[in-house]
Structures are given as structure tokens and as C-alpha cells.
Amino acid sequence: MTDRNQATGKQLAAPLRKGQLLTDAQLLGPGLLAGTPPGSAAVPLRMADPSSIQLVSPGQLVNVVMTGANGYDQQSPSEVLASSVAVLWTSGQGGQTGQWLGTGETEGLIVVAASPDQAARLAGASTQGKLFFVLVGP
């Protein structure tokens, strides 16, 4: 970015250190998808275990898994909704509120880059069951 006005009013996707160069890929919004395949969508997901967010950081690949079981009297098989999706942003800080979006509503939230088919499966999935992620390799 060459002009300060290009970043005015935008939110950082991750912490920025003093003196570090700022690029559009470090901001929430269309630039966050820089480098992803054409047609990718940034999909926000609320994880069932907010403290697990501290284990993942932007750039890592995860499988997103949904379960409808409650662990007691309800049992159902887990379903992989999306495989090897890249994490774009996390609320981080061990499940505490996400200071980068500036609200307490970011607890347990991650944003992943998904293909159109994956995005359709992921959208609203947290209303159908509990979401978890599994770290995977490239």
C-alpha cells in the first residue's frame, strides 16, 4: 500500500508490528482472499470450543467437522463439511474476545477461505450442530 488512505477505516486481519509493511492481504475484506483460487469465499465459523482457537493461526489448513451429538444421550456421526481450507483470520488469544474486530462477539470465531461448494455447506452450519476444526498438512 502506497497511500495511507487505502487503509483508513479497514480492520487488520492479524496483529501488525511496529515498522512492518502493510499490504491489502492483511486487511479484512476482499484483500484477505489474496492468493486464494478464483471464486473463493471468506466464511466465518463459530467453533464449539472457543479455547481451541489458540491452536490455529492464519495460513494453516484445517478440516471443518460438524457433530450433532451432545456427548451424552444424543449420538450422531461427525461430518466433514470442508477439507483443507485455509484459515484467514482467528479471534485468537485463547478464545478471548477478538480485539481486531473490536467486539466481544468474535469469541470462538475463525474465517476460512472456501470454494463455492464448501462455502454453501459451511454457511450457517453452526446452527445445525457443533463445529470443530482438525489441523491438517498441505
Structure confidence at residue 71 as a pLDDT band (50, 70, 90) = low
Report helix, strand or coil for 66.
strand
Domains of the chain, residue spans: 38-136
Please give the backbone phi and psi of residue 113, each rounded to the nearest 5 degrees, phi first: -90, 120
Is 29 a residue whose pLDDT tops 70?
A: no
CB count in 10 Å sphere of residue 49: 13
Percent of the chain at pLDDT exceeding 90: 35
Average pLDDT over residues 18-22: 83
Q: Of 70, 75, 79, 88, nearest to 122 (Cα)?
A: 79
Nearest alpha-carbon partner for 64 in 109, 15, 4 = 109
pLDDT tens column, 34-51: 788 888 999 999 999 988
Of 72-86, 90-104, 123-137, where does mean pLDDT reach its minimum?
90-104
Going by C-beta distance under 8 Å and a sequence separation of 6 or more, which residues neighbour residue 70? none
